[in-house]
């Protein structure tokens, strides 16, 4: 769930049970964002809760950045609230509001989900990057040895960069107009993968075989492209982590050039099994 407006998602579901009735015993989950209208996690998790007979519900909560800490601290005091999902623009802020952070969160500096632990503390995790890599693998796009141009050093971009490096990308060149944020991310990642991650003023598309948009550009009609796909070599894969719209302007432009494209939904469906394990649910049979 990201600064691109993405989170767990699913296409239309058919034949699923109605949502379990809410009662005094219902366990609560929330997804925090600003905006929050685009989130798709309730459409996945609530049917999943019903399928498994879980007495739980996930609801969207719109939170301004200046209210994030107050809202999260209040939610963490709700006795029957078990999990907090996080999307744009709260991933870095949410990571700082958990007592414990996974290795993925420590590396990326961002989180997209928090879980209440048995002792009442909160654990922050981030499945954006692993979900993105899993989605690439399912679509037949190998990461190992790839030269990657990555646009975006924010909440999702940082997790995607770390996961690509973990999966064996030969080089990840990251661009972002926020230079302090970009430099901080590259410095942090270089401590784990020296020589394989670089900051770039412009995406080195001529020298990349995988180009990824992890910025919000493409969420709104009229957004400029995050990079120019015509500068890529034939056969280079263009990936977008934006889910809505499904066909972003970037992907349309890349497809028109005959380049292989990779939709945002793949990143999101790639996270389903991880979320289920994280919250003690059974993964869906098709997940």
Q: Is 86 helix (H, G, I), strand (E, B) or coil?
A: strand
In the predicted model, is pLDDT for residue 11 greater than 70? no
The DSSP code for 205 is G
Distance CA 181, CA 187 (A): 10
In the predicted model, is pLDDT for residue 106 greater than 80? yes
Catalytic annotation, pick one of 91, 101, 146, 171: 91
pLDDT, position 19: 63
Please compute Rg for the chain using Cα positions.
18
Q: What is the largest CA-CA distance in the chain?
A: 58
Distance CA 123, CA 109 (A): 14
Beta strands (DSSP E) in 147-227 are 147-151, 171-175, 197-199, 210-213
Express each pLDDT in 27-69 by its tens digit.
Answer: 999 999 998 887 878 887 898 899 889 999 999 999 999 999 9
Within 13 Å, how many C-alpha atoms sit on residue 69's CB side? 5
Mean pLDDT along residues 224-236: 97
Annotation marks residue 181 as catalytic: no
Distance CA 122, CA 100 (A): 6
- Smallest Cα–Cα separation from 12: which of 194, 257, 246? 246
Distance CA 218, CA 34 (A): 17
pLDDT, position 287: 53
Output the average pLDDT for the chain: 90
* Pairing verdict, β 210-213 and 27-33: unpaired
Indicate the pLDDT class of residue 286, thresholds 50, 70 and 90: low
Beta strands (DSSP E) in 34-133 are 56-62, 81-86, 100-101, 113-116, 122-125
pLDDT, position 8: 43
Segment (H or E) for 71: helix 68-75
* Pairing verdict, β 100-101 and 113-116: unpaired
pLDDT, position 3: 45
Mean pLDDT along residues 200-206: 96
* pTM for this model (two decimals): 0.84
Of 113-127, 150-164, 216-230, 262-276, minimum mean pLDDT range: 262-276
Identify the sign of the CA torsion 264, 266, 271, 272: positive
Distance CA 238, CA 249 (A): 12
In the predicted model, is pLDDT for residue 197 greater than 90? yes
């Amino acid at each position: 769930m990201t600064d691109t407006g993405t989170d767990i998602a699913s296409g239309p579901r058919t034949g699923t049970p109605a949502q379990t009735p809410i009662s005094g015993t219902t366990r609560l989950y929330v997804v925090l964002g600003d905006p929050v209208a685009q989130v798709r996690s309730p459409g996945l998790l609530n049917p999943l809760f019903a399928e498994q007979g879980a007495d739980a519900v996930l609801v969207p909560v719109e939170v301004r950045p200046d209210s994030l800490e107050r809202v999260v601290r209040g939610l963490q005091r709700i006795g029957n609230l078990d999990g907090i999902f996080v999307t744009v623009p709260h991933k870095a802020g949410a990571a700082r509001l958990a007592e414990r952070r996974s290795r993925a969160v420590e590396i990326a500096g961002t989180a997209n989900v928090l879980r209440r632990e048995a002792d009442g503390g909160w654990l922050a995790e981030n499945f954006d990057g692993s979900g993105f890599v899993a989605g690439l693998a399912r679509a037949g796009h190998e990461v190992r040895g790839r030269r990657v141009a990555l646009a975006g050093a924010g909440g999702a971009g940082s997790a995607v960069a770390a996961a690509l490096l973990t999966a064996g990308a030969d080089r990840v060149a990251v661009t972002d107009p926020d230079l302090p944020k970009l430099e901080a991310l590259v410095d942090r990642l270089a401590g784990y993968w020296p020589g394989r991650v670089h900051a770039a003023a412009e995406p080195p598309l001529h020298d990349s075989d995988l180009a990824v948009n992890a910025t919000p550009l493409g969420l709104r009609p009229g957004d400029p492209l995050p990079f120019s796909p015509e500068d890529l070599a034939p056969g280079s894969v263009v990936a977008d982590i934006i889910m809505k719209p499904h066909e972003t302007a970037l992907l349309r432009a890349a497809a028109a050039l005959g380049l292989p494209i990779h939709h945002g939904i793949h990143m999101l469906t790639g996270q389903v099994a991880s979320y289920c394990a994280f919250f003690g649910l059974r993964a869906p049979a098709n997940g």
